[in-house]
Amino acid sequence: MSNQDLLFQEKVLAYKDLIFHVNYIFESFYDLMEEMLDHEGSNVKWEKFLNKESEYYNSLVADLYKSIFKVQSFIDKSFLKKCRSAAAAPLHRMFIDKN
């Protein structure tokens, strides 16, 4: 196997890993949105639950950023930027735009 073949394989694995992380963040976000729609308790209970969940979602984004850091030298910069913004969008919507 040549070095180019190995580099190509590494790139493919890196893209798969990044896409997995972004997809998982979105799936988790929409699972949380379903829980919100089904929530029958008070706003205070929901706020407490959401604060606990924020730690989990922050860890998901941290894992994505770790993966980005590992591969940023050989993956397209515009793709990495899209991954960052895709991961930040649901979190911003969920925890910043509470009003």
% pLDDT > 70, the chain: 90
Residue 97 has pLDDT above 60, yes or no: no
Amino acid of residue 57: Y
Each residue's pLDDT tens digit, 68-87: 999 999 999 999 998 888 87
Per-residue pLDDT at 99: 45
CB-based burial, 24-39: b 16+ in 10 Å, e otherwise: ebeeebeebeeeeeee
For residue 14, give the nearest of 72, 53, 87 by alpha carbon.
Answer: 72
pLDDT (tens digit, 9 = 90+) per residue, 12-27? 999 999 999 999 988 9
